[in-house]
Structure 1
């Protein structure tokens, strides 16, 4: 195999090797060279636009003849290019990316090619290199290393860093720069498309920025001008913000501002009375995150050795802050000037930037909340004065001194109601509500902080005067603004939830006294140890001291519970006496007893069926027993037993009624009945037209209900309820049990005399035609006497329900039975439904709980 070129027609013989055993396929490799031919290196000398010939002399073709087979290729060259990959304007913290494109540099198809750099030249004289240059150092050209982006792209990438301090050679060189300086990237193409060397230049430049300077306030207070006082003689701290990206020198560290670049001045009447350089006080405000270049080398296979991935990020910095204090010589009316000497604005020129503020004093004021407060109540004192707001980054304190009347401080005085006698005085420390608010606050408890109730300095009716000693008001003088607080007391109250109680009843005692509400966010207590709340009975004349707990935080209402004959002994007609000792009243009196009274009663039970008549196929009836004496355990649900008999079943069945809820004294249960001829366990045997009777033995009945009862005799009384069993009927209207509603529309089972009630009944028409109805409401007392009757005429649509009702106000206490009947009309008094009834207990209005 002979290899030749236009430049070297002699060439050399190339040895080929078979690709495998018995394949008949042979391969070989050779390279091109612009200077020489070497058979040993298997390289052929060429020049641009040469033709390269590969000739094979086949000694025997298929036809049995000799043949010459030749392949031809042409040597070409390309003109390279170079560019900065982003906007040609760069910041000092950025990492610049240089991209060179030249297929002539792609000399290997096996791996990405590399053009080495890292040298420094005075001129770009070495062909094939990539140079970078800065106008800050015009006699230095730095070469950089570029790496092909893939095996055969002919596109190469390299990186350049910037610094304002120094330059540095390397694969990734660092150029020394300054704002607005020029930058060049140069590719010295060894052979362009014409076969000649060529320098290709890409230009860029460094950004410069116009700086900004600002203050945190428009006015600043001066220091104290009085000979003595609590405020310092120096004025407020000034927070100065300087923004200039040209000062962002170190991307990985905190930059500083040269001392002479910023100047502070105090100007009075057009003349400078104070001046100092303060640039050294500035520190870069932003915590910069350094640029990280992550280089990952991945060995894919033998022919592709590495892949370089570079991640760049732009750092936002150049924000500086300084904290400088107004000197003691500054006076009200002076002008503060801060000057920044920007070395290079966005046009590259020097510029002085000035910001101004006024030195100004303020008139303070004091206020208290609330204006009326009880002893041990909470009081908030506030002072508003920007002259104390000296450091905007700190919540400051108006301190106390050893005596009252010191300028800058706050005092409190306690006066008698006529403001003639001072009973106490103290100093108050106030804390700023937050940095830079200028509002100072103290939250205190009257009688505990400052002045003490135990020492007689604070009492109900006294007046507190608070004084702020303002050392410098808006006019430049001094002032003492005042605020007043009236100390109040409330006369406590004690009350019981009822006037009478059953033998085992639970007494709920309520004490209302806002004076005891010391902590608005907590539930507080009247403890038994204070001996301020107690109960006595006729059977237990010694005081039983109680603990009462506040029902809700900040309510001032305290409650305690006592169960008779568990916590304290009591009997029928025993008196109950509860006493609260009020520590201080609205009249200023102390340890005043406030009392409430009640007594123990026995109650006769009432037993009722929910209806007076049951159809034999209804199968069950509801029983209700009301007996407060049967409520043996106020914290638990109690039960009672009732015996229910019928004309057919004289032995009857025992039915257990359960209390509807703890401490209610209301018991309910169900009796089931059947007309089956055989006896069924748990069912009461009945027949049509039977009478059923429920019996309950009340062992603690009201003695007044027992004939010929005398003191010392048992108080046992049998209470009964009766109903009728009627044959099965097919009445068209289903009448639900009636309901009693109070004026708020809520169902009740107890009421008081004179209370206006609404009696309601729901009628359901089961037929498929509308029915005219008259709904009759009748009320009977415990003796069976009718005390009220009225009616409502209406029409109930087919298969619809309708609620009807009338109002009634009971005049006498006692137990009443509410009966409801539905007739066709008065002209045709035909029942359309079974009657319904409900028991209601009515208490005297003064006894109602």
Structure 2
């Protein structure tokens, strides 16, 4: 198989490398987007080849394995979002391109590398009017769901709103053969109750989409990992002129790994991290606040950080916290213009989690004694 490896560190640059007769260009226009393009020599046979892209961190740990199809001239392209727990803290990484005959080769390489991906989910807009029969578009990126090399694939997600918390099912369709990106529209209604692919909304609602990823990397000791994205229903008044939407609120441990199942131990330090994006062509000051409530709705913690987002900048702010008692808790992220100016730049984002005590079994206690 033909391949290339190039290490990337810089942002806002492009690099080009050659694997025999296959040039691959890697562009990093910002700290989130990664664009991989190339040209391969098409085989003489009638088979449609597949290009496999493998991304690893500087220690050789796989971050992503995805596949794409070249066009009739051999040109291929793959757009990657450097988001999710496997990208956290990564400043250097390598990109490897390989050719495969079919999806069996892709699966064999996945077994060889022991790699699966953590999917990401997002709304294409931070806010929607929510007028009758208007739609909102949701995208999921997950190369593991790309099962067929010559056809588009499908996946399902759940969507709900504050006014209608019953989850409705939405089917997303791959945007093309081997794109690894899935997209679908949900219909908003302020007259009819939620049903399949329809969500009842009211002005001021937060609408939430969740994707259950069941194909996870080997070091994630869980069978399923839920990723969420939120958008705001703004009605006739329209969105604020300045907005920095937050999404994908997750809980990480001190090793910057996601805490699966949202189960935390007493005295365990955690970080509450989300994606934050400035969607305007100018800088935006912000305050990122995290409020933690116990199961009696009493405030356990209220912390914040402040900063300034440059035009179209994306980052992952986080607040650390240590629970000292067991119980059920809810963390809510607010993004304001400042601590003293609570003009919302984003709909609130929430996550629920459980704090448990550490239990030592009887045998362990006896050995310690």
State the TM bucket, normalised to the shorter chain.
Answer: 0.3 to 0.5
Name which structure has the greater RCO, CA cutoff 8 Å, separation 6+.
Answer: 2
Q: TM-score, normalised by structure 1?
A: 0.21
Q: Which protein has the bigger helix share?
A: 2
Q: TM-score, normalised by structure 2?
A: 0.41
